[in-house]
Every structure is written in structure tokens, then in C-alpha cells.
Chain A
């Protein structure tokens, strides 16, 4: 179970870190006014400062349990977390294997795994959908619009 307080703090820390990174890397570009006008780093620097200050405020509000959503204590229940992971983890694995096996194989395997393994569909209909997906992608992208999708290291090894 994840409490709203933990989630608020996590979000504020995340935005705060992003703000610090923006501030630090904008210093490389120079801030202020020079002969070439407003320096390139000035605006990112200012937005970075605003992000950091705002994140600190949100962090305080979240930690103290104040703000508009203070009444809601629990953000994500265990069963909700399971469903979230059920969608996100396979999607992340799908994205991770694309460089290796290519878009077509990865998408077919992903669709099949998501549909057949939790027994949402029969194996046959899962197979049909899994085969139709890369076929449709191939026809529309590669054939009709000449947009090449990644074929993957595996296909390259076989000489495609």
C-alpha cells in the first residue's frame, strides 16, 4: 500500500531533482545579458529555480499532509498496485526487448503474452490478434508510408 503522503513526497522530490539538473546544466550556457543578447542559459536557469522552489513548497505541503487532497489518505491500494504492475511491467519488457528482437516480433509476443497468459482470451484468439498486429504495422508503416520500424539485432544477424 502506498500512502498519499509518500506519493506526494516522491513526486515533489522527482520534480525537485529535475529542477536542480536544469539549473546546473543551464549554468554551462551562461546566464544573464551579454553582447549577444539574453544568454542561452537564462530562461532554463529561471525555470529551474522556479521548479526547485515550487517542489520545496509541494514537498512541505505533502509531508505535513496539507493541501487540497489532504482528506484522501491512501493513494494506491495493494490490488490497484497489482493491476498497475500488470499493465506496466509487460509494457516495459516489450520496450526493453525491441532493440534485440525488433518491433514486429516484440509486439506479437507482447500481445500474445498479455492476452493468453492471464487467460483473458482463448489461446487461439490471442494467437490471431498477436499475428495480425505486426502484419498491420508492416503493411501500414513499412509498405504504405515507407516508415521503417526497428527490425532488431536478431533480424540483422540473419541478414534482413
Chain B
């Protein structure tokens, strides 16, 4: 109950006119950087940081964290409308969000995404409020073997669920791992797979790969099919926004399950990206409509969005209580904390009660402000779908080019992005699945590092993955998730080969 009192005190700090104004400004700027690919929350936060030096620490962190919420929401917009994920964590949103928008229901897709994202964030904040100390302990129990087990779990829940040919899936996954390995190896420090091109030392950024594979690749598929977006009614349809929100409780189980996955992956440093992929994979497997996933199913938007935001929110906790930044944005914010004269870590909760609880209270209020603002912008974004394809196509190309360039001011990235576009088209055309490829690019090198560090600790014995209860449970759950669908598939194949049903599944 002590926490509750502190929280109420926090609300008196957060809900004041100047702080609410800061939230609105932060959220709006956040939506802008979130929508533009290439710019992300880290850019926005680092640009605003100098402005905050003269502010009270509470006001400053409210401005920066509001910007973070705005960017999280904004990242989903381009994923849904143009199949270009602005952030790694919104890749899984494209799987069902984009087909739904293309089907002439952009308003429903956006409203569903924002509604479930808000739910996920809310669960994350509630978790932070009540379990702060417990959560800090869990995060401390995580060493390299546990990290690897979490990544393994994410892969296991995702791989082998699609209708793609198994060998093509394996090839796509392996290519993703190889791309992730390009550049400097973090364990040994040696340079890998640069193939004689010095600039590749910095590695292949995820954003570059994804904008090519999804953005340009989808554009090529679209012109080939002579695609034109189905007419979207020109009226601003507010009723549709509320109807979509009203339908969310029908996905109650998916919401709760995804929020749980998200919180778990946020605390254990699996991160929002792994969380959203894992949540999508599990939802597809257990949903009654699982077979229709990938064709614009609402639950396919609910699952990744809820998990993404639950993880994004609960990931701020390790930063505050342990001083471990869980993401680039958190790292910049932590730099801010130190400049404002605060020391992140366990003592923060004792020394700076006003700051901590003001921030936690502002997470509740800030998310409500963000949802309200972002829902207001839905009709504006939905209207973008009405621009004729002939005009929007070159603009998407330019956005992808600028986005790829601005990741690290490198022209090579632009060329690579275009190359990924051709690969994306080819793979999509021939039903190589793109999702395992992207997942491997994003968390492949982290999984590899964790595995090798674990091997160093155990001097080469695999027994370290069964050394304690936590890691054993994680590994066994991963193996079960991996083998279950395989077993089911074998049973089905033995009964009757059903080719026609497989053909209908959209390969993602």
C-alpha cells in the first residue's frame, strides 16, 4: 500500500498544467519521429536533451518519456499503411496490419493497433507500480545462458508456424543469421564477413534491411499486380474508430496473453522486438482464427502491438532500478538523468521519491494523452491511403532512400537497401518467408553472443543450459514450442497430404 500512496503523490506532481503541456508537445514530436523511418525515438530524445538542462528533472523526464510513447505509437503507422516498419518492434504489426489497410480498412487497423498498444502499456505501468522491487531481482538473475534461452524461446515460438516450405524457411533464417554476423564481432572484437568492403565493418543495420525487404519489395509486388488501394470513403469516420475500440474486448484472451508475454520479455531483457514476434507466433498457434493470420485478422494486430508496448514500458524499469539501459532510447535518457544530477540505480527509489513516482504517474497520464492524440490523427493518416498509387510509389521510394541514408549517413546503406528490395521481391514471389529472416537479423547476433558467453562460462559444456530452474524451464519451453507444431505437421502429413489448404496461407 505504500506504493499506492507514493503513486497518488506522484499524480499530484504529474497532473499539472505545465506538465500536461509538456506531455502534449512530447507526444506530438514523438509521433513525428516515429512516423518517419530512419528517425526514431533515440534521435528525438537526443535532440530534445539539450533543451531540458534548465528544467526540473521531473519535467525533463516527463517530456522525454512522452516523446518515447509518441514514437512507439507513430512507428506502427507506416507499418500498417505502407508496410514500412519504422522501428524493429513494429515489424510484426505489418503482417496483419498492412493487409487490413490495403483491404480498405486503414481506420480499423490503426484504431485496433493503438487501442491494444495502450492496453499493453497500461499493463506494463501497473506492473512497474506494484512489482518494482521484485522485477529488479528477476532482471539480476539473468546471465548469458538465460539470455540465450529467452532468445531461443522467441525463435522457437515463431519458426515453423508459417505455411512456407520448410527448407526455404531454414535458408531464410540462416541468411538472416549470416547478415546479423556482418561487422565487428562483439565477443572477440574481430571483423567478420565484410567481403572486402571496409564500410561493412559497421554491420548491416536492421532498418536498411527491413525498408528494402518490406518497403521496396512490397512496392514491386504491388506494381506487378497492378494494385490500387480499395476506395476508402472520403468522410472522416469517427464511428469506425470507436467500433474498432469496442471490438477489442472480444480479443480479451489475446490481449491478456500478449501483455503477459510483453511484460515478461520487457523485464527479462528480451526486449520489445522479440516480444512482438513471440506474441504473434503464439497467437497464431493458439487462436481459433490462426489459419487466417496474415490476411488482415484483427487478432494478428492485437497480439504484437500489445506485447510491443507492454515490453517497451516495462523495459524502463531496469533502467531506473538497476541503471541498465534496455534500449538506445533508455541509454540517452540515462545520460540525461546523470546530467540532471541524478544517479540511476537502486538508491534512486530511496533518494528521489518525487522524481521516480512523478515519472511513474506520468506514464499513466502520458499514455492516456498519447492514445487520445494518436486516435485524433487516425483519420489524417488514413487519408494518406487515398493518394493515388502513381504518386505515392515514388514518395515511398524516396522515404526508404532517405531513411536508409540517415541511419548512419552512408550511401552504401542506400545501395544495400535497394538490393534488399530486389531480394524481398524475389523471396515474396517464390514464397520464401521474410519473418524468420528479419527476426534473425534483429536478434541473431545477440543470441549468438549470449550462447558464446555461456560457453565461455561453462568451458564448452551444454550443461549450463540446464544448470538452474529458470534456464531449464526456458529451454524446455522453447523445445516444446519447437517440436509441437512439427509433431502436429507430421501427424497431419501421415493422415492426408492437404495441398490446397496450404496454398491459401499467406507467407509472411
Point out residues on A near B: beta carbons under 8 Å: 4, 7-8, 10-11, 14-15, 18-19, 21-22, 25-26, 29, 33, 36-41, 43-44, 47-48, 50-51, 54-55, 57-58, 61, 67-69, 75-76, 80, 83-84, 86-88, 90-92, 94-95, 98-99, 103, 107, 110-111, 114-115, 120-121, 129, 133, 137, 140-141, 145-150
Query: Which listed segment binds A: B187-195, B236-244, B277-285?
Result: B187-195
User: Closest B-chain residue to A22, C-beta based?
Assistant: B178
The CA-CA distance from A99 to B167 in the complex, in Å, is 40
Q: Is B5 an interface residue (CB 8 A)?
A: no
- Contact of A147 with B394 in the complex, beta carbons under 8 Å: no
- Contact of B390 with A140 in the complex, beta carbons under 8 Å: no
Main secondary structure of the interface of A (DSSP, over half): helix
User: Closest A-chain residue to B398, C-beta based?
Assistant: A107
Partner of A95 from B177, B401, B430 at Cβ < 8 Å: B401
Partner of B391 from A18, A94, A129 at Cβ < 8 Å: A129
CB neighbours (8 Å) of B422 from chain A are 88
- Contact of B426 with A76 in the complex, beta carbons under 8 Å: no
Q: Mark B32-47, 1 if CB is under 8 A from A, else 0.
A: 1100101100011001
Give the interface size class of chain B.
35 or more
A51-B171, A133-B398 in contact; A33/B390 too (CB < 8 A)? no
- Contact of A37 with B406 in the complex, beta carbons under 8 Å: no
User: Closest A-chain residue to B189, C-beta based?
Assistant: A40
Q: Which of chain B's residues 1-52 have a Cβ closer than 8 Å to chain A?
A: 32-33, 36, 38-39, 43-44, 47
- Contact of B398 with A8 in the complex, beta carbons under 8 Å: no
Q: Is B415 an interface residue (CB 8 A)?
A: yes
Selected A-B contacts with CB under 8 Å, 22 pairs:
A10-B426, A19-B174, A25-B193, A29-B185, A36-B188, A39-B188, A41-B192, A43-B448, A48-B178, A50-B174, A54-B171, A57-B167, A58-B167, A87-B219, A87-B220, A91-B216, A98-B414, A99-B411, A114-B393, A137-B398, A137-B402, A140-B32
Q: Which of chain B's residues 241-298 have a Cβ closer than 8 Å to chain A?
A: none
- Contact of B174 with A149 in the complex, beta carbons under 8 Å: no
Q: Besides the contacts A38-B452, A110-B397, A141-B39, what 13 more A-B pairs have beta carbons closer than 8 Å?
A: A25-B193, A25-B194, A43-B452, A47-B177, A58-B167, A68-B502, A69-B430, A80-B224, A83-B223, A94-B397, A95-B414, A145-B47, A149-B406
CB neighbours (8 Å) of B223 from chain A are 83-84, 86-87
User: Closest B-chain residue to A148, C-beta based?
Assistant: B409
- Contact of A15 with B39 in the complex, beta carbons under 8 Å: no
Q: Mark B165-188, 1 if CB is under 8 A from A, else 0.
A: 101101100110110010001011
- Contact of B177 with A83 in the complex, beta carbons under 8 Å: no
- Contact of B391 with A15 in the complex, beta carbons under 8 Å: no
- Contact of A18 with B452 in the complex, beta carbons under 8 Å: no
A37 to chain B, nearest CB (A): 4
CB neighbours (8 Å) of A140 from chain B are 32, 36
- Contact of A44 with B429 in the complex, beta carbons under 8 Å: no
Partner of A68 from B165, B397, B402 at Cβ < 8 Å: B165
- Contact of B181 with A44 in the complex, beta carbons under 8 Å: yes
A11-B432, A87-B223 in contact; A58/B181 too (CB < 8 A)? no
A30 to chain B, nearest CB (A): 8
- Contact of A150 with B405 in the complex, beta carbons under 8 Å: yes
Partner of A110 from B398, B406, B452 at Cβ < 8 Å: B398
User: Closest B-chain residue to A25, C-beta based?
Assistant: B193
A24 to chain B, nearest CB (A): 9
CB neighbours (8 Å) of A38 from chain B are 451-452, 455-456
- Contact of B220 with A84 in the complex, beta carbons under 8 Å: yes
- Contact of B452 with A58 in the complex, beta carbons under 8 Å: no
A54-B170, A110-B398 in contact; A7/B405 too (CB < 8 A)? no
A133 to chain B, nearest CB (A): 6
CB neighbours (8 Å) of B38 from chain A are 147
Q: Mark B428-458, 1 if CB is under 8 A from A, else 0.
A: 0111100000000000000010011101100
- Contact of B171 with A55 in the complex, beta carbons under 8 Å: yes
Partner of B430 from A11, A44, A115, A148 at Cβ < 8 Å: A11
- Contact of A141 with B418 in the complex, beta carbons under 8 Å: no
Q: Is B395 an interface residue (CB 8 A)?
A: yes
A15-B171, A55-B171, A98-B411 in contact; A111/B418 too (CB < 8 A)? no
CB neighbours (8 Å) of B401 from chain A are 94-95, 98, 103, 107
